[in-house]
Structures are given as structure tokens and as C-alpha cells.
Amino acid sequence: MTTAVLTNPYSVLVKRYFANPVHAGQLPDEYNNAVVSEVAESETGARVILYAVVDGDTVRMLRYQVFGCPHLIAAAEAFCDEAEGQPVSTLLELDVPGLMDKLTIPVEKTGRVLILEDAAKALHITVTGTKYSED
Amino acid sequence: MLSNNAELVYLDYAATTPVDPQVAEAMSAYLTVDGTFANPSSIHAAGRQSAAAVERAREQLAGLLNVSPHELIWTSGATESVNLGIIGAARFRSNRGKHLITMPTEHKAVTDTFQALEREGFEVTYLMPDRNGLLALDEFEAAIRDDTQLVSVMHVNNETGVIQDIRRIGECCRQRDILLHVDAAQSVGKLPTDLSVLPVDLLSLTAHKLYGPKGIGALYMADRPGCHVLPLFHGGGQERGLRPGTLPVHQIVGLGAAASLAKSRQVEDLVHLQGLEARLWSGIGNIPGILRNGSETESFPGILNVSIEGIEGESLMLALEPLCVGSGSACNSRNRESSTVLQALGRDDALAQSAIRFSFGRDTTNAEIDLAIGCYADAIVHLRAISPQQARTA
């Protein structure tokens, strides 16, 4: 059993997003034209599902479901908060280092945020039918 | 409640207990120049007063265990007692055989000690428990060999609270002249432990699990033929040369006082713990997807360990931040080892990671249990609203 944490591993912002996940959950049934992407990682069991309602070139609504640590939940919440109302291309522009810096996510959790990045890219593919290069 | 952290609820008594005020008061008389601070090995009058305090404490602990005081050796805590008892006895009897038996669900102090002995050339059989965490006696008897010299089984599991049948395990050992070591860190002072009738040869305990100070423990070594340990440390000659080093009088006095207090309060404390455990389980046991880890019947009531389907462990710990509880999850992705104890009980990685160990004590109140129930239930609702994975049994 883990019974002690030497230092608080979560920033104020992570705790705030974790406690107030306003973009968490599925889209209401009325949005039957929503697009969905899902990415999971077998090693940690982490799983991210993104749901989007797209109107023309704009992401009107963005929701997520996450099975993962508080850092991943906070990252998903922060990303959805920023990407909602933005052009679809925003889904390709998730700034992993910037998001980790903003939320003070420790470097050992980089893999979790990359899952979110993969889910966002997969959502973009679904929306646009465009493939992207792995560079 | 933690008096200096009024917003926190301490439910981690299996990790450590607060020092009882009576114990702290007793200890304080053995620290400063106004008190009895002398080295108990000194032959002058002040030293003899310290030595007398050490022996009084030994008698107090012996009274709790119903053993002779000379069968107790002071150590720095349960980990050292375990090392001295297991390594010391295995080496002492190594000319008779080098086969040892234990369980993978033991505390790491035990399993790591056995691994160290494997590196010395001993052979260790690790017996898996059944799904309730209990040792199957028929499997145990089948694992015993002609060259088996030592068995180590814990009394109360520190994660699940499962109580092993020490009496029957000990009887099997006695019939075959095999030593039985028991890690009793979680049970001494909380469950009746009468070593005058239990067939136990070596028993490890620590003060800080029974409202005594950290840094002091003891090894019980039965005064019977073939039961002996070789020392791990050398120099000084204290404790008959088996555990040399200047004796920490105030710590020893603290353990003695804690033992004395535990003996007088044992029944009262146990009834209190039973009430707390029943209250907590009645409050959270109906949450969809909740699973109790360990035996429901053969279990120490001071520990309740639960897993929950569809909830990630690290997030659960953050959602439970007002509660000081034990967790099956790690907050560092590079250290995601699930509990070997829960894995041995058949829990998959996700369920083991979601495990929460509630452990209560003498000072825990019903109001704190009610706060814990509310906090846990709220955390599950919060995280299920985020998670794509729902309880299979919902």
C-alpha cells in the first residue's frame, strides 16, 4: 500500500480542472452527428474518448471521457476548454509541452498527455478525412 | 481527527498509530537531565535505574504476550525483528537444511528478507493464498520437506486485515520440528496473542502500531530447544549479544507502557473497531462495483480494504484527499506496481490500483466514519461522471 506522498504532486490548476470537469461526459443524445475518437494505452490502462460537434470549420462542442490519472483528466479538461469554438485545425495543434508547462505536469507523465494528443489527432482525421504525418 | 489538520480524517492506523498520551508521558521521564536518561549498561546508580526501567518494560510486554521476559529481544521495530528472526534462525539451523516456506502476501520486510536468504543459497517456497487471502493448510503440509527449517506467516495482513490460522500452522510446524516465525506487527495489542498456548517460535512486533513510539520493537524468541538466532549486528553485547547497541530507554519504556495499556483496553478497543468497520461497510458496501478485498469472516476489524470497478486509483486518491487512507495506486507513472497481495487474491491490475485501505483505531469516531462514507461515495460519483468505464455490476 502507498501510504505517503512526500510532496503534493498536483498543481493548483490540475486540482481546479480535476474538481470542475465541466467538459466531462458524453454529448447529449440530440447531437447525433457528433464525431468520436478513442485512444487507449495498454501499459497504464489509460483511455481517452473525445466527442465533437463540428459546424463547418468550427468545433462547436467538445467533450471527453477519461480513465486515467488526475493529470490526464486536467489536461483533457484544459484542452477541451481551449479548443471549443476554435477552428477544426486546432485539433492538430495540441501543444503538449505548453500544456504540461501550464498545468505543471511532471515529465514522467508525458505519455499520458500524448494519449490526449493522439485522440485529438484521431478526431481531426475523423472530421476531415485527412491523414497527418508522424513528424 | 488530526488535531492540527482539522480538515483531515486519519484512517490509516495500519500504517501507524498516534502515541497515546499516557505513553508519551511515561517516555518523557526518560529523556532529560531531570529524568532517568543514563545508559542502562552503565553500572552506576543512574545506569541501574535505566536498566530497571528497561526490565520493567520487558515485563509489561511479556505480560501482554504471556511469555517470559527473557524471551524478548529489543529491536528498532518490526522490520529489524523480522530480519533478525528469519535470517538469524535460518543461518542458525542451516546445517540441518536450507528449505524455507512463506507466502507472497507477506509484508515486504518478510519477502525481501527471504529473497536475501535465497541469494545466500537457501531455497524458499512461496505459497499462494486462496481467494480470501488465507493459507490452505493442505497445500502448506504438502510443501513441507525433510529439509524445511523455518516457516514465516503473518498473523494479520497489513493490507487486507486477513487473519491466518496461526495455531494450526504452528501445530503442523511443531510436529515436524520446524520453526514458525510470525510477523505480528498488525495484531499485537489488538487481537489476543497468548504465546503460552500458541505454537509460535519467533514473533516480530513494533510499538508504533499499538500507540507506542516509532523506532522500537521486539523479537519474541521462544525458550525451547532448537529455537535460536545468530546475531546480525556485533559489538556491545546488549540483549545477550543477539542485538547489540545502546538501548533506547525512553523508546523501550514507551513500548512497555503501550503494551500495558493495550492489555487493559484490548476487549474495549476490539469492540470499538468492530463497530467502526460495520458502520463503514454498511455505508459503502452497496456502491455499484465495490469489492471487498480479503476474507469477510477471518478478518481483523481494524482494516477494511475495498476495490472499485471502473475507477482509476490515482484519481480516486486525489478525490479522497480529505481522507488519510492507504492506497493501491502510485502517484508516479514510473512506479505503477500493483499490490502483490491484491494480485494474489485474484484482483486484476485496475482493481488492485483502485484499492483503498481504511484502517481505524482507538481514537476514530463514528462521525469520522460518516465523513469517510460521504467522501468515498462522492468521489465515486465524481469519477464515474468522467470515466468511460462503468461498473460491471452496476
Task: Collect all residues with Cβ–Cβ distance below 8 Å to B295 and sequence separation of at least 6.
Answer: B132, B133, B134, B160, B162, B163
What CATH number is given to the structural domain containing B326? 3.90.1150.10
User: Do the Cβ atoms of A1 and B330 come within 8 Å?
Assistant: no
Is residue B300 included in any domain, yes or no? yes
Determine whether B20 is exposed, middle or buried from the number of CB atoms within 10 Å of its CB (0-12, 13-18, 19+).
Answer: buried
| Joined grid coordinates for residue B2 | 488530526
pLDDT of residue A6: 44
Higher pLDDT, A4 or A56: A56
Higher pLDDT, B214 or A43: B214
Picking from B309, B305, B349, B359, the residue whose alpha carbon sits closest to that of residue B329 is: B349
Q: Coil, helix or strand for A56?
A: coil
Question: How many whole angstroms separate alpha carbon B63 and alpha carbon B69?
Answer: 8
Which of B262, B280, B309 is the C-terminal boundary of a domain?
B262
Q: Are strands B123-126 and B99-102 parallel, antiparallel or unpaired?
A: parallel
Q: Coil, helix or strand for B137?
A: helix
Sheet of A58-67: strand order equals A35-40, A47-55, A58-67
Say if CB A39 and CB A80 are below 8 A apart.
no
Q: Which site among A2, A10, A18, A71 would you substitute to test the B interface, given the most B Cβ atoms closer than 10 Å to its Cβ?
A: A2
Which of B213, B247, B262 is the C-terminal boundary of a domain?
B262
Is residue B391 included in any domain, yes or no? no
Task: Express the helix, strand and coil content of chain A in percent, nearest 5 each.
Answer: 40, 20, 35
Which of B239, B262, B285 is the C-terminal boundary of a domain?
B262
Is residue B2 included in any domain, yes or no? no
Is residue B316 included in any domain, yes or no? yes
Question: How many whole angstroms separate alpha carbon B145 and alpha carbon B335?
Answer: 37
Locus of grid cell 495506486: B329
Q: What is the tally of structural domains in chain B?
A: 2
- The average confidence (pLDDT) of chain A is 89
pLDDT of residue B5: 59
Contacts by residues B135-142 (CB-CB < 8 Å, ≥ 24 positions apart): B135/B103, B135/B164, B135/B165, B135/B169, B137/B165, B137/B168, B137/B169, B137/B172, B140/B101, B140/B169, B140/B172, B141/B172
* Chain A residues touching residue B12 (CB < 8 angstroms): 3
Q: Are strands B179-183 and B148-152 parallel, antiparallel or unpaired?
A: parallel
Searching chain A, which residue's CA lies closest to the CA of residue B357? A1
Q: Are strands B202-206 and B179-183 parallel, antiparallel or unpaired?
A: parallel
B106 in the same domain as B86: yes
Is residue B322 included in any domain, yes or no? yes
B292 in the same domain as B281: yes
pLDDT of residue B336: 59
Say if CB B59 and CB B218 are below 8 A apart.
no
pLDDT of residue B230: 98
The catalytic position among B172, B173, B331, B375 is B331
Query: Phi and psi dihedrals of B297, rounded to 5?
Result: -100, -45
Q: Does B328 touch chain A (CB under 8 A)?
A: yes
B157 in the same domain as B45: yes
Question: How many whole angstroms separate alpha carbon A84 and alpha carbon A97?
Answer: 20
Domain that residue B320 falls in: 9-16+265-386
Question: How many whole angstroms separate alpha carbon B143 and alpha carbon B134?
Answer: 15
B295 in the same domain as B183: no
B95 in the same domain as B35: yes
pLDDT of residue A4: 42
Question: How many whole angstroms separate alpha carbon B21 and alpha carbon B62?
Answer: 22
pLDDT tens per residue, chain B (394 residues)?
Answer: 455 555 899 999 999 999 999 999 999 999 999 999 999 999 999 999 999 999 999 999 999 999 999 999 999 999 999 999 999 999 999 999 999 999 999 999 999 999 999 999 999 999 999 999 999 999 999 999 999 999 999 999 999 999 999 999 999 999 999 999 999 999 999 999 999 999 999 999 999 999 999 999 999 999 999 999 999 999 989 999 999 999 999 999 999 999 999 999 999 999 999 999 999 999 999 999 999 999 989 999 999 999 999 999 999 999 999 999 998 765 443 455 788 899 999 999 999 999 999 999 999 999 999 999 999 999 999 999 999 977 555 4
Is residue B323 included in any domain, yes or no? yes
B308 in the same domain as B236: no
Task: Collect all residues with Cβ–Cβ distance below 8 Å to B385 and sequence separation of at least 6.
Answer: A21, A24, A25
Q: What is the CATH number of domain A12-128?
A: 3.90.1010.10
Say if CB B369 and CB B280 are below 8 A apart.
yes
Say if CB B171 and CB B141 are below 8 A apart.
no
pLDDT of residue B332: 42
Determine whether A130 is exposed, middle or buried from the number of CB atoms within 10 Å of its CB (0-12, 13-18, 19+).
Answer: exposed
B216 in the same domain as B126: yes
Length of chain A as a residue count = 135
Say if CB B263 and CB B63 are below 8 A apart.
yes
User: Do the Cβ atoms of A1 and B357 come within 8 Å?
Assistant: yes
| Joined grid coordinates for residue B298 | 477471518
ipTM: 0.90
Picking from A120, A20, A2, A16, the residue whose alpha carbon sits closest to that of residue A62 is: A120
Question: How many whole angstroms separate alpha carbon B197 and alpha carbon B149?
Answer: 21
| Joined grid coordinates for residue B231 | 546475531
Which H or E element spans position B170? helix B166-175
pLDDT of residue A103: 96
Q: Coil, helix or strand for B326?
A: strand
Above pLDDT 90, what percent of chain A?
76
Q: Does B331 touch chain A (CB under 8 A)?
A: yes
Picking from A9, A23, A22, A27, the residue whose alpha carbon sits closest to that of residue A112 is: A9
Amino acid code (one letter) for B121: G
Question: How many whole angstroms separate alpha carbon B338 and alpha carbon B327?
Answer: 10
| Of residues B158, B327, B350, nearest to A45 (C-beta) | B350
Other Cβ atoms closer than 10 A to A8: 12
Dihedral, B163, B166, B167, B168 alpha carbons, nearest 10: 100
Interface of A with B (CB under 8 A): 1-5, 9-10, 15, 18, 21, 24-25, 44-47, 49, 65-70, 73, 106, 108-109, 111-112
B165 in the same domain as B73: yes
B77 in the same domain as B200: yes
Q: Is B375 a catalytic residue?
A: no
Say if CB B172 and CB B141 are below 8 A apart.
yes
B31 in the same domain as B175: yes
- Report the interhelical angle of A70-83 vs A110-128 (nearest 10°): 40
B235 in the same domain as B155: yes
B160 in the same domain as B222: yes
Task: Collect all residues with Cβ–Cβ distance below 8 Å to B43 and sequence separation of at least 6.
Answer: none
